[in-house]
Amino acid sequence: MSVGKRQDRTRPQKKRAVKRAPKPDKRRARAVPRFVDGYLPYLLARASHLISGEFHATLEEKRIPVMHWRVLCSLLEAPMSVSELADIVIAKQPTMSKLLARMEKQGLIVRESDPVDGRGVVVSIAPAGERLAQPLVRLAKRHEASVLEPLGAQDAGALVAILARLIRQHAG
């Protein structure tokens, strides 16, 4: 608006044409790979999210929290310390301690003083936790087999071995 002129508000203003970017051609967009499509951390995270999500749906149907499942299946072979358990189930130690307190009240796990280091705590699975975990392990193994089967035995074995190796290399 110029100085000295008043804008007439009774007349509608002309709309200016806004230039918009052309819509991307979806066929062309698919032909050009995105960075993440070949980025290992993304691929690992995405595969984990999709595959774990399938099994988590089974847990949800049975009303079993994912973290309970992780703890119980981790303890099936042997007792372990809270810090070892937190590392395996991918949780921070304070979160793990709160979770273990709830699971102990439910009779799923047992916490005892470490006989070697009286300051530490050793966690083991209780009989009720074992009864809950055993059928879930069978379901998990079936799910894993259904995921790996399309790869063929050789590629499936190689994938598992390579992932285990990556974990060992980066676990610090």
Q: In whole angstroms, give the CA distance from residue 30 to residue 19.
A: 25
Which pLDDT value is given to residue 115? 83
Neighbours of 50 (CB within 10 A): 10
Which pLDDT value is given to residue 169? 94
The list of the chain residues with pLDDT below 50 reads 1-3
- Tell me, yes or no, if the pTM score tops 0.95: no
Q: Which residues of 56-88 are buried (b: 16+ CB within 10 A; e: fewer)?
A: eeebeeeebeebbbbbbbbbeeebbebeebbee
Which pLDDT value is given to residue 17? 56
Q: Is residue 140 part of a domain?
A: yes
Q: Is residue 123 part of a domain?
A: yes
Residues contacting residue 106 through CB under 8 Å, at least 6 positions apart: 128
Q: Is residue 71 part of a domain?
A: yes
Q: What is the CATH number of the domain that holds 61?
A: 1.10.10.10
Q: Is residue 34 part of a domain?
A: no
SS3 category, 124: strand
| End-to-end Cα separation, the chain, in angstroms | 66
Which pLDDT value is given to residue 119? 81
Structural domain that includes position 102: 55-170
Which pLDDT value is given to residue 160? 97
Q: Is residue 96 part of a domain?
A: yes
As for how many domains the chain has, the answer is: 1
Which pLDDT value is given to residue 172? 72
Q: Is residue 69 part of a domain?
A: yes
Digit-coded pLDDT (tens) for 100-126: 999 999 999 999 988 887 788 999 999
Q: Is residue 42 part of a domain?
A: no
Q: Is residue 16 part of a domain?
A: no
Alpha carbon of 141 to those of 27, 86, 144: distances in Å?
A: 39, 22, 5
User: Which residue is associated with the tokens 């399938």?
Assistant: 54
The answer to whether the CB of 108 falls within 8 A of the CB of 126 is yes
